[in-house]
Structure 1
Amino acid sequence: MKQFGAKIQSFFNSRLGFFVLAIALFWGKTYWAYQTKFNLGVAGSMQDFLLALNPIPTTLLLFGIALYMNGRKSYITMLIIDAITTTWLFANILYYREFSDFLTFTLIKGSGAVSNNLSKGILGILNPTDFLVFADVILLILLLSFKVIRMDIRPIKKRFAIGVSLLAALLFGANLSMAYSDRSGLLTRTFDNNYIVKYLGLNAYTVVDGVKTAKNSAVKANAKASDINSVLSYLNKNRTTPSVTYSGVAKGKNVFVIHLESLQQFIIDFKWDGQEVTPNLNKLYHDQNTLSFDNFYNQVGQGKTADAEMMLENSLFGLPEGSAMVTDGTSNTFQAVPAILDEQGYTTAAFHGDVPSFWNRDNTYKSWGYDYYFSKEYFSSGKNYDVGYGLKDKIFLKDSAKYIEQLPQPFYAKLITVTNHYPYTLDKANTSIKQTDTGDDTVDGYVQTAKYLDQAIGELMTWLKTSGLDKNSMLVLYGDHYGISGNHKKAVAKLLGEKTFNDFDNAQFQKVPFMIHMPGLKGGINHTYGGEIDVMPTLLNLLGVKNTGTVQFGSDLLAPNRNQTVAFRNGDFVTPTYTKVGSRYYMTQTGKEIEKLTAAQKEAVNQATNRVTTELSLSDKVITGDLLRFYKPSWFKPVDKKDYSYKLSNGLKQLKEAQEKKKTSVLMKNDGKSLADEYKTDAPELKTSEAESASSSESAAADESSSSSSRSSSSSAAK
């Protein structure tokens, strides 16, 4: 035993032994922090394995730098690297606790929001156990100081140090490969920093963020104030005069923007198993007070939902790669709908039952000027409340009512549903229609989640009527992107009762619902061709907000003689006459492929192609160069991101103060009596919670009764 102990002592007294000990301790505390300090959403054995593996490659690489040095320098360098990376871990623990996200270089060097927000309540943020991340550094210093472990000043062969670096690179390559097999497009289509940390680790995330920041900074640094002139010149030449008939018809009305996750146009009026899949939306679609658009297309790229939001609230296209909300949402200047309506006296709020960091919403919404962002921490939690990407729609919308009624009117409220999200799975208790029978698992579950979403919308509509909000509100409902991709052609053909489903059919399959509903609105089904890029100018005109001199690539959908070329992110397009898919052209009304273009057809498709490529290019230029920082029209007040905080305590305090100041909220107008309890839902999870609560109350009452009886008996005996 003594010999074994001596061998261990001898091993740790060597440079290699100290290196292994330092690596092991750093791995242990990092893995502990992942599990206890962050909420990374690890699910499944592969993700568990990667979470345990990912600290090792970068730690080997960083600590391995010390092996290239001799004597004491090697030990000191190792301790310095340990201390620096530990401090970074510690800082992220604090920031994550406050904002449910990780630090970025943009945040650090940008507005000062990090230091401002953290310094305001550092003692309130700190948890004593946070300091445990420094335990390994202190332990190593003490072991060396008291010579429990002695420094080995013998040189290490350079080939050994190189071998450690190569091992680190090999392990990282394996880590990255496994991560991509579990989450394709992890780095190219980043939508949540939690995913990068979960799969690759905090140190790797830091490098990814650093590279991304440097790349974006270089582009922005080279941008000039004059660059915006070419954008304004094109827009001014091609600007469409908005509809006079509909201008200002919704002035002063509340606005609800309801995000129908992955909902496609084909589902409207679609029947399966003898049932309408979306009866509530169908009724709304055909209502005489609803403007419905049957040729409205999603125009998203890799950013999917994030691209849809960017277009809806900025009339700017998403980027060709990744998500503009993630890469540029924190640092860029925007002139978005919330900020514009704020100057019109509106209260603006976004609602989403998932973590605030998803798609970088917690930072982007500040850049867009949202007064409030009600994310996951604002809502109830319970058994089976969540489904994949946040709260189930029925629970989410019911819970949102208590905040909606507190918003000073008029307000602009965006509600993002999530249940109808790939892979379209729903528990049996919430299923009210059987799956379709195409044999494709992805396709066949779609009607079940779509019907659930429709039921949730029906419950919301009922409450809006109960609360009286239906009378003075405009509802805008839109599908954000396709739900079933072109990879399921055979199944989609069977679902739609068609013999084939080709590339042209898939282009038309990109239609999503778009409806605008308001009492007294002159409605009907509008056949104009348009897309998400056109929503912002359409809404602003309806609200009577002047829309001249804006940097927007869409046009009012209700304007006469508008250009009806719908651009897709990959350069394809649809017009009422022609559809372009790759290098092929089709007649839009018949779907017949044009084998050889006539001179007139060639001129028409060339004009459409030039328009599409120009607008995509100029929109990209605006975002990547942050060109709106150079454009300061007199009608727009720039957003100051430091004015916003979406933390629960701050949000509730701000909401209370705003109500007292304006006294226009539904709650204040109802003499402080809440109407949220009038919201009716059949969500089984809430019924279960109520039953358990009632059972608990009955049990407590029984215990109290028993206790009282016992006390009475004791009292009688004492007498």
Structure 2
Amino acid sequence: MNRVNLFLLNFLDVIFFIICVTFKILVYGRHLETGYIKTESLFIPTIASVIIIVSISFIFKTKVRSKMLYILNIIISSFIVSDLIYFRYFKDIISLPVLISGFQLGAVKSSVADLMNFKDFLYFFDVIFIVPFINKCVRSRKTDISISYRISVLVVLLFLGVLTDFKSFYNLSKEQPRLLSTMYNKVYITRKLGILNYHCLDIYNSISANITKLAPISKEKVDTIDDFMDKNKSDNKNLKGSVKGKNLIMIQVEALQEFVINASINGQEITPNLNRWVKRSEYFDNFYYQVAAGGTSDAEFMTNNSMYPAPAGAVYFLYSGNKFQAMPENFKNNGYSTAAFHGFRENFWNRDIMYKRFGFDDFYGEKSYRQDESIGLGLSDKSFLNQSLVKLNNMKSPYYAFLITLTSHFPYDAVDKYGNFDVGNLKGSLIGNYLQAIHYTDEQLGMFLDKLDENGTLKNSVVMLYGDHYAIPKDKEQQLFKFLNMSSTSDVNWEKLQKVPLLIHFPDESVKGVNNTYGGEMDIYLTVCNLFDLPGKDMFGKDLFNPNSQRIIFRNGSFIDKNYYYSSQDDVYYNVKTGKRIPENSSLKKDEEDVLNQLGYSDYILKHDAIDKLDK
């Protein structure tokens, strides 16, 4: 009994660390559980990773060891809380590239604060109230453990931890052979290996990727990508060059989702102006956002380049020194003047650098606008669009103008400035605040488009308007399902709600109607190339008027078309029409491989700055 008591006293800090940190990670894992991957399966890789950390602490004497474990407990708890907050909004796990560009959160601190939950900070309860007492007891011991004993314990624990952890890594690598190297599905990795293993793997792969950038470009790889690009081309029979020489006004609307179009609340249309313009345009009702961690910047990148966003972090930061074959440069090479318009800070998302890389002649940012009315994050959509109208009128035709709105940005908390749109019993909820915000933006867009119509601009211009990404985070999905009176809250139904509107208004409304083609933001650039008769090579998207595929690929390896939806985070296939799970077959497995190949090709081009090496 004395030996047991002595052992407990000598290793109380270690025992508590193993139990408490393992418990925290398993509790955190429940936030990622979907019903297909149980939290219980996390126990083995979690306890293994914790034991590996503990084993290393035995290098040090008792007092230093207890301090080290205390600091590690704080760090791990901080990562858990950060991951929880990040997951609530992005439905993804935070990564090293995201942390590197994390200073961007300073401008959207209200958004981050809104995602926080008081319960999150219970993860720090032990480090504040329990661990200091335990460490005091451990440090009060007069005798210390011999170096030989510590090394023996270190070797045994390290061996057991590594051996057990290796088995988990090996099993996952056999199940998803490319997952551990590409990190295309961070949530799935975390669900299978635990948060500690995920973050260690993320750091390793981030460092490895930077080293890989220095390697020479593989001619064989470039030839493979070239071959794919050639096969990916559309035939461009429909509407080829139909608006050649016209202006293009492209409007990216903050957090505009498709479910508000033609929807009402309390007898009031939520977006009456967009509803009206939908009828005057070609409207795509199966159009999806495809953004990743770069959010709005990913949407801009895809629509102007037809390349996939980065698997972690944002292209706008990670690859700001790359060459691109972007839409503005393409227009400029064909005699167009080009400009981007956004009423927020020029350096936010690195726009001041990236827009030059894309070939914009001018970028009208915060300093180019009178900051006469602020709503939410910055300049109101009303002031922004009115001032942009003046700038548009001064542009030399033909031109490409790219406008990005701001007011309808999460968390939609400027309700006192959105107007008097009555959302009834939804008042004060996130969905209610969003409906008020998007109703306000709809009003400003309606006035802007009407003015373009009245001054004759639309007679010589094409207007493309689309939403950049989702408005309602998944942790608020029940609010959305309730608003839409949806009884089935399946994964497929949630995915179907991740649509954003795309409308294309043609001069004299020569083309209009509802288009059921499945598409996404990757497809806008090639569609523009067809309509305006611009060169369109080395792109991953498709022409929406001449689709060679109806598949939409998401950054995490999931994909959807009119028949199937594959959820990579659960490794499950669904029938889109019935919503039922279906077994994997050789055809679906091939589709999954094709998806991963495309994502890999895009990543390779970005990592090696290889866009100008294609077709050489």
In structure 1, which of residues 511, 521, 530 is the aligned counterpart of residue 519 of structure 2?
530
Indicate how the Cα distance of structure 1 residues 398 and 313 shifts in structure 2: closer, same or farther if over 3 A, else same.
same
Q: Secondary structure at the residue paired with 1:351? A: strand
Contact 1:533 / 1:554 at 8 angstroms: preserved in 2?
yes
Letter in 1 for 2:555: R
Per the alignment, residue 593 of structure 2 pairs with: 610
1:254 is displaced (CA, Å) by 0.7
Indicate how the Cα distance of structure 1 residues 321 and 557 shifts in structure 2: closer, same or farther if over 3 A, else same.
same
Question: Quick check: 1:387 aligned with 2:370?
Answer: no
CA distance in 1, matches of 2:535, 2:104: 41
Indicate how the Cα distance of structure 1 residues 299 and 197 shifts in structure 2: closer, same or farther if over 3 A, else same.
closer
Letter in 1 for 2:229: L
Contact 1:332 / 1:629 at 8 angstroms: preserved in 2?
no
Contact 1:191 / 1:359 at 8 angstroms: preserved in 2?
no
Per the alignment, residue 476 of structure 2 pairs with: 488
C-alpha distance after superposition, 1:265-309 (max 9, x if no partner): 11110101211110111111122xx11111111111111211111
1:175 is displaced (CA, Å) by 12
CA distance in 1, matches of 2:477, 2:521: 24
Of stretches 314-323 and 228-237 in structure 1, the one that deviates more from structure 2 is 228-237
Indicate how the Cα distance of structure 1 residues 436 and 322 shifts in structure 2: closer, same or farther if over 3 A, else same.
farther
Q: Secondary structure at the residue paired with 2:355? A: helix
1:336 is displaced (CA, Å) by 0.4
1:196 is displaced (CA, Å) by 7.4
Q: Secondary structure at the residue paired with 1:246? A: coil
Per the alignment, residue 244 of structure 2 pairs with: 251
Q: Where does the alignment leave 5 or more consecutive residues of structure 1 unmatched?
A: 1-158, 200-210, 634-719
CA distance in 2, matches of 1:236, 1:338: 23
Question: Quick check: 1:274 aligned with 2:267?
Answer: yes
Alignment of 1:357-506 (within 5 A): 357-382=347-372, 384-388=373-377, 390-435=378-423, 437=425, 441-506=429-494
Q: Secondary structure at the residue paired with 1:545? A: coil
Per the alignment, residue 232 of structure 1 pairs with: 226
CA distance in 2, matches of 1:453, 1:191: 32
Q: Secondary structure at the residue paired with 2:465? A: strand
Contact 2:257 / 2:500 at 8 angstroms: preserved in 1?
yes
1:386 is displaced (CA, Å) by 4.0
Scaled by the length of structure 2, the TM-score of the pair is 0.67
Letter in 2 for 1:489: E
Question: Quick check: 1:509 aligned with 2:497?
Answer: yes
Question: Quick check: 1:310 aligned with 2:301?
Answer: yes
CA distance in 2, matches of 1:615, 1:335: 18
CA distance in 2, matches of 1:183, 1:355: 25
Scaled by the length of structure 1, the TM-score of the pair is 0.58
Per the alignment, residue 98 of structure 2 pairs with: 189
Indicate how the Cα distance of structure 1 residues 490 and 293 shifts in structure 2: closer, same or farther if over 3 A, else same.
same
Contact 1:296 / 1:531 at 8 angstroms: preserved in 2?
yes
In structure 1, which of residues 566, 578, 599 is the aligned counterpart of residue 564 of structure 2?
578
In structure 2, which of residues 517, 527, 532 is the aligned counterpart of residue 543 of structure 1?
532
CA distance in 1, matches of 2:95, 2:371: 28
Contact 1:436 / 1:445 at 8 angstroms: preserved in 2?
no
Per the alignment, residue 630 of structure 1 pairs with: 613
Per the alignment, residue 37 of structure 2 pairs with: none
CA distance in 2, matches of 1:445, 1:232: 47
1:486 is displaced (CA, Å) by 2.1
Per the alignment, residue 558 of structure 1 pairs with: 545
Indicate how the Cα distance of structure 1 residues 487 and 174 shifts in structure 2: closer, same or farther if over 3 A, else same.
closer
Of stretches 257-266 and 481-490 in structure 1, the one that deviates more from structure 2 is 481-490
C-alpha distance after superposition, 1:392-422 (max 9, x if no partner): 1111111112221221111101110011111
Contact 1:335 / 1:368 at 8 angstroms: preserved in 2?
yes
Question: Quick check: 1:327 aligned with 2:310?
Answer: no
Contact 2:239 / 2:530 at 8 angstroms: preserved in 1?
yes
Per the alignment, residue 111 of structure 1 pairs with: none
Per the alignment, residue 212 of structure 2 pairs with: 219
Indicate how the Cα distance of structure 1 residues 420 and 337 shifts in structure 2: closer, same or farther if over 3 A, else same.
same
Alignment of 1:326-365 (within 5 A): 326-328=317-319, 330-365=320-355
C-alpha distance after superposition, 1:589-624 (max 9, x if no partner): 232333x45xxxx23322321221111111111111
Indicate how the Cα distance of structure 1 residues 191 and 380 shifts in structure 2: closer, same or farther if over 3 A, else same.
farther
C-alpha distance after superposition, 1:14-61 (max 9, x if no partner): xxxxxxxxxxxxxxxxxxxxxxxxxxxxxxxxxxxxxxxxxxxxxxxx
Letter in 2 for 1:331: G
Q: Secondary structure at the residue paired with 1:256? A: strand
1:176 is displaced (CA, Å) by 7.2
Identity of aligned residues (%): 32
Contact 1:440 / 1:491 at 8 angstroms: preserved in 2?
no
CA distance in 1, matches of 2:557, 2:427: 33
Letter in 1 for 2:557: G
Contact 1:317 / 1:533 at 8 angstroms: preserved in 2?
yes
Letter in 2 for 1:311: M
CA distance in 1, matches of 2:424, 2:352: 38
- Give the alignment's Cα RMSD to 1 decimal: 3.2
Q: Secondary structure at the residue paired with 1:355? A: coil
CA distance in 2, matches of 1:404, 1:216: 42
Letter in 2 for 1:558: F
Q: Secondary structure at the residue paired with 1:539? A: helix
Indicate how the Cα distance of structure 1 residues 610 and 173 shifts in structure 2: closer, same or farther if over 3 A, else same.
closer
Contact 1:192 / 1:357 at 8 angstroms: preserved in 2?
no
Letter in 2 for 1:392: S
CA distance in 1, matches of 2:438, 2:225: 40
Contact 1:225 / 1:627 at 8 angstroms: preserved in 2?
no
1:503 is displaced (CA, Å) by 0.9
CA distance in 2, matches of 1:399, 1:555: 34
C-alpha distance after superposition, 1:668-709 (max 9, x if no partner): xxxxxxxxxxxxxxxxxxxxxxxxxxxxxxxxxxxxxxxxxx
